[in-house]
Amino acid sequence: MDCKISEPVVGPRSEDYLPASVSTAVKVVIVGGFGVGKTTLVGSVSEIRPLTTEETMTQAGVGVDDVAGVERKTETTVAMDFGRISLSDELVLYLFGTPGQQRFWFLWNGLFEGALGAVVLIDSRRLDDSFDVIGRLEERGLPFVVAINAFPDAPSYPMSELRAAMDLPDDVPMVDCDARNRASSRDALLTLMRYLYTLTTTTPEQPR
């Protein structure tokens, strides 16, 4: 399997180096069902050349991969995406995108190792795909936020309806997102970081 990067390798660029001011690095995973925009998000927001592991989808996947709703997709992530974004002079996030095809989900355990939180990308046309994803995060106890990725023909549901449909607890943040847009993707990551911060500063209610 070849790893592709978006530009030919010509040696490290100045932005590839971490500034000396960085004191905190946080690992975050970008998860979601097949074709919800995980690779797009990591690529749009990363300040370094993102690592991707896209492979062409072939006839071999017919009957194995569920491509309902994303029939026009030609490539898929077979291992992971990797990128990096600095949120301030001191704080850097390392982004790991997971593969969406169910047959590669066994890789998730390794990718989740050491992660502090996750952004769950959702395509509101294919909500069913998100149930297993959210269930896995809940099983692992990994905090997450939900980002509704804006696909052009996706019906626009109120957040409250989507929350109810996904059976999400009230405290789990939800945001609209366009994974192709750097600022929008960054906002989704900031929402996760704010949520992680509130979790560390909120004391659990004491039993009476």
Ligand X SMILES: Nc1nc2c(ncn2[C@@H]2O[C@H](COP(=O)(O)OP(=O)(O)OP(=O)(O)O)[C@@H](O)[C@H]2O)c(=O)[nH]1
Number of chain residues interacting with ligand X (CB under 6 A): 20
Asked if 40 interacts with ligand X (CB under 6 A), we say yes
Asked if 165 interacts with ligand X (CB under 6 A), we say no
123 binds, among ligand X, Mg ion, none (CB under 5 to 8 A by kind): none
- With CB under 6 A as the contact rule, the residue among 29, 31, 38, 49 that binds ligand X is 38
Asked if 143 interacts with ligand X (CB under 6 A), we say no
- With CB under 6 A as the contact rule, the residue among 151, 168, 174, 188 that binds ligand X is 151
User: Nearer Cβ to ligand X, position 73 or 103?
Assistant: 73
- With CB under 6 A as the contact rule, the residue among 50, 100, 117, 143 that binds ligand X is 100
Which two tokens mark 6?
Answer: 């978006």
Asked if 27 interacts with ligand X (CB under 6 A), we say no
Asked if 36 interacts with ligand X (CB under 6 A), we say yes
Query: Measured at the alpha carbon of residue 32, what is the angle toward residues 133 and 165, in degrees to the nearest 5?
Result: 60
- With CB under 6 A as the contact rule, the residue among 26, 29, 31, 39 that binds ligand X is 39
Question: Amino acid identity of 135?
Answer: G
- With CB under 6 A as the contact rule, the residue among 145, 178, 188, 189 that binds ligand X is 178
CA distance 97 to 64: 22
User: Nearer Cβ to ligand X, position 14 or 59?
Assistant: 59
Asked if 149 interacts with ligand X (CB under 6 A), we say yes
Where along the sequence are the contacts to Mg ion (CB under 5 A)? 38-39, 77
Q: How many CB atoms within 10 Å of residue 48?
A: 17
Task: Give the interface with ligand X as residue ranges (CB under 6 A).
Answer: 32, 34-40, 73, 76-77, 99-100, 149-152, 178-180
